[in-house]
C-alpha cells in the first residue's frame, strides 16, 4: 500500500442468500482526500461501507489501515479504528434531545458516583452546532421535532465529535437546501485541511465533480473504474455511462402539453397555524403539479393535511367538486388519495417486514376473503408490481431493510399503485435514488399521468420540477408565493418566489 494510503480494501466479496452484493471489490483512500463512491442503487456502495463499518463481515477480502491488517468485526471495532459512518437512514434516537444524541454511548460524568456532566455535554454540543451553522437549534430540542435536514446535520455533528480519521458520508445532502449544502462543503474542506479523509457517496454527480479528488464507480457489485478529479473536470456523462453501462441522454421523458381537464382536487384557504396559511390551488385530471420551495417551507405539512395525516384549522378540500371531511388517512385513501412520504424509512415502510408484506400491508382488503388473506392472490399482486417497477433483487420474502434506497422507494410506490388511486402525492420521490432509478421513476410518473392519474410532485431539486411538471407552485413560509406554467417556469423565477425575494 502506498505510504499516503490510509485505507486499502482488497478483493471484498459479500454474499447474501440469493445474491452476490459485492464481487472482489477494491477500494482505497488517501490521507486528507475526498474520495467519491458512486453507482446505481444496488451497485454495492452501502454494502461496501457496511463492511468497512463492521456491520457486515465479508466472505472474502482484506482491509488494511495505515499499511497494517485490520480486523473490523463490529461497529465498535470501526470506531476504535477512528472510522465514523453517517448512514443514509438516520441513526438517531427520536425520544432523546440533540445533546443526548450527540453524546449517546460516550456520556461524560462529573466523577465517580456524581452522575452525568450534562452541563459540559450541552456546552460542547452547542459548539458543534455552531461549527455546522446550526446555532439556532436548541440542544435541548427533542430529535423527533427536528426537520429532516436538521437531523442530517446532527448526524454529522455526532460523527465529528468522535476522534475520526476516516469519515463516510452516505447521501449527506439528500435533504439539505443549497445554502446548507454549501455550509457542508465548507466544513468538508476544513476537515480535509485537518487531515481527515472522507468517503463521499452521492447520486448528485455535480457534487462529486465539485468536491471529490477521486471518484470510484461500482456497478452490479463490481469495481468498474476510479477516475482522477484533481482538476475538477470529470465528465458527468462519462460517470453515468460507467454507472449504468449505457448512455443516458434522455434524462426526463418527453412531456406532452397537458390538456386542461376537469378539476379533480380543489383546496381552498387551507390553514394550520404556525405551519401554512390560506393555501388554495386546483389539480386537474392527468396533471403533474409541482410544489417547489426550501426545506421547512411547509410543503410536506400541507400534503399531510390533505392526506389526513395531520389536522388543519380551517379551509376546504373538495374531490370532484364535492367538499370532503378528510380526518384520517383512511378517509383519504377511500377518496382515492395516496401519499408517498418524504421519509420512506419512518413513514413509508416497515423495515423488518418483507417486500411482499410491505406491498400488501395497506391492501389486505384486496387480497382477502371473509377476513382471510388469499396467499395466491397476494403473491400474484406482489409479483406483478415487482416486475412492473423492476424491483431488484426479485426476492419478495426478503426484508425490505436490506434493499437499496431506490428499490425501497419503488416498493413504497407499488403499495399504493395497487389501489389505482386518482390523486398521487409524491414527496421527494427521488431522494437518495440513483440516476438510473430516477429515470425509471420519472417514466412511471409520466405513464401514470397519461393514464389519468393526477399527481402532486414535491421536490427540492428544481431541475426535476422543471423537467416533470405541467404547472409549478412556489411555497415560502407556509404560503403560495408564485404560480408558473411549464413555459413560464425557470430556475431563477421559482427560486425568487421560493425565497420570498
Q: Which of 131-135, 341-345, 379-383 has the highest mean pLDDT?
A: 379-383
What pLDDT shows up at residue 340?
95
Query: All 3 cell numbers of residue 420?
Result: 389505482
What pLDDT shows up at residue 251?
65
Q: Which of 339-348, 417-426, 433-442 has the highest mean pLDDT?
A: 417-426
Global pTM value: 0.61
What pLDDT shows up at residue 309?
95
Q: Work out the average pLDDT over 471-491.
A: 93
- pLDDT higher at 75 or 256: 75
Sign of dihedral through CA atoms 400, 404, 405, 408?
negative
pLDDT band at 449 (very low <50, low <70, confident <90, very high): very high
Q: Which fold has domain 1-82+163-249?
A: Rossmann fold (3.40.50)
Q: What proportion of the chain, given as a percentage, has pLDDT over 70?
A: 97
Domain parsing of the chain, residue ranges: 1-82+163-249, 93-162, 263-498
**What region does 269 belong to: left with phi over 0, alpha with psi -120 to 50, or beta?**
left
Q: Work out the average pLDDT over 227-231.
A: 93
Q: Which fold has domain 263-498?
A: Rossmann fold (3.40.50)
- pLDDT higher at 240 or 132: 240
What pLDDT shows up at residue 247?
53
Grouping H, G, I as helix, E, B as strand and the rest as coil, residue 135 is coil
Who contacts 24 (Cβ-Cβ below 8 Å, separation ≥6)? 11, 12, 13, 60, 61, 222, 223
Separation of alpha carbons 464 and 73, rounded Å? 41
Sign of dihedral through CA atoms 334, 339, 345, 346?
negative
Beta strands per DSSP E along 233-306: 263-272, 276-284, 288-292
Q: Work out the average pLDDT over 150-155.
A: 82
Rounded to 5, what percent of the chain is helix, strand, coil? 35, 25, 40
pLDDT band at 410 (very low <50, low <70, confident <90, very high): very high
Sign of dihedral through CA atoms 166, 215, 131, 90?
negative
pLDDT digits (tens, 9 = 90+) for 275-285: 999 999 999 99
Amino acid at each position: 500500500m502506498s505510504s499516503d494510503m490510509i485505507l486499502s480494501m482488497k478483493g471484498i466479496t459479500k454474499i447474501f442468500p440469493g445474491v452476490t452484493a459485492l464481487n472482489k471489490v477494491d477500494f482505497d483512500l488517501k490521507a486528507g482526500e475526498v474520495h467519491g463512491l458512486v453507482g446505481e442503487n444496488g451497485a454495492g456502495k452501502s454494502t461496501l461501507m457496511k463492511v468497512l463499518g463492521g456491520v457486515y463481515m465479508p466472505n472474502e477480502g482484506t482491509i488494511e489501515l495505515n499499511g497494517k491488517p485490520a480486523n473490523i468485526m463490529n461497529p465498535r471495532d470501526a470506531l476504535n479504528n477512528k472510522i465514523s459512518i453517517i448512514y443514509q437512514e438516520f441513526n438517531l434516537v427520536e425520544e432523546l434531545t440533540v445533546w443526548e444524541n450527540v453524546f449517546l454511548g460516550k456520556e461524560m460524568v462529573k466523577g465517580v458516583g456524581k452522575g452525568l456532566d450534562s452541563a459540559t455535554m450541552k456546552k460542547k454540543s452547542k459548539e458543534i452546532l455552531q461549527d455546522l451553522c446550526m446555532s439556532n437549534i436548541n440542544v435541548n430540542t427533542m430529535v423527533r421535532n427536528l426537520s429532516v435536514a436538521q437531523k442530517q446535520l446532527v448526524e454529522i455533528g455526532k460523527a465529528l465529535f468522535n476522534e475520526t480519521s476516516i469519515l463516510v458520508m452516505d447521501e449527506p445532502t439528500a435533504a439539505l437546501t443549497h445554502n446548507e449544502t454549501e455550509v457542508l462543503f465548507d466544513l468538508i474542506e476544513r476537515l480535509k485541511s485537518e487531515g481527515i479523509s472522507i468517503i463521499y457517496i452521492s447520486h448528485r454527480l455535480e457534487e462529486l465533480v465539485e468536491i471529490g479528488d477521486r471518484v470510484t464507480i461500482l456497478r452490479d457489485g463490481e469495481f468498474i473504474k476510479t477516475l482522477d478529479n484533481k482538476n475538477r473536470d470529470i465528465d458527468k456523462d462519462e460517470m453515468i455511462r460507467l454507472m449504468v453501462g449505457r448512455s443516458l441522454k434522455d434524462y426526463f421523458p418527453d412531456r406532452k402539453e397537458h390538456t386542461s381537464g376537469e378539476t379533480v382536487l380543489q383546496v381552498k384557504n387551507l390553514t394550520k397555524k404556525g405551519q401554512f396559511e390560506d393555501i388554495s390551488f386546483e389539480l386537474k385530471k392527468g396533471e403533474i403539479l409541482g410544489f417547489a420551495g426550501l426545506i421547512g417551507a411547509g410543503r410536506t405539512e400541507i400534503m399531510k393535511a390533505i392526506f389526513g395525516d395531520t389536522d388543519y384549522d380551517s379551509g376546504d378540500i373538495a374531490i370532484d367538486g364535492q367538499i370532503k371531511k378528510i380526518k384520517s388517512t383512511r378517509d383519504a385513501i377511500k377518496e382515492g388519495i395516496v401519499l408517498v412520504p418524504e421519509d420512506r424509512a419512518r413513514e413509508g415502510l416497515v423495515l423488518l417486514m418483507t417486500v411482499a408484506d410491505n406491498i400488501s400491508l395497506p391492501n389486505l382488503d384486496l387480497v382477502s376473503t371473509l377476513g382471510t388473506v388469499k396467499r395466491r392472490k397476494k403473491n400474484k399482486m406482489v409479483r406483478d408490481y415487482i416486475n412492473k417497477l423492476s424491483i431488484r433483487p426479485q426476492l419478495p420474502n426478503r426484508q425490505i431493510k436490506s434493499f437499496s434506497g431506490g428499490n425501497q422507494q419503488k416498493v413504497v410506490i407499488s403499495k399504493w399503485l395497487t389501489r389505482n388511486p386518482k390523486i398521487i402525492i409524491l414527496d421527494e420521490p427521488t431522494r437518495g435514488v440513483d440516476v438510473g432509478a430516477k429515470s425509471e421513476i420519472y417514466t412511471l410518473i409520466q405513464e401514470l399521468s397519461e393514464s389519468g392519474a393526477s399527481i402532486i410532485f414535491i421536490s427540492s431539486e428544481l431541475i426535476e420540477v422543471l423537467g416533470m411538471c405541467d404547472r409549478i407552485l412556489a411555497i415560502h413560509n407556509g404560503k403560495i408565493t408564485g404560480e408558473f406554467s411549464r413555459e413560464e417556469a425557470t430556475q431563477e423565477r421559482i427560486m425568487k418566489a421560493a425565497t420570498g425575494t
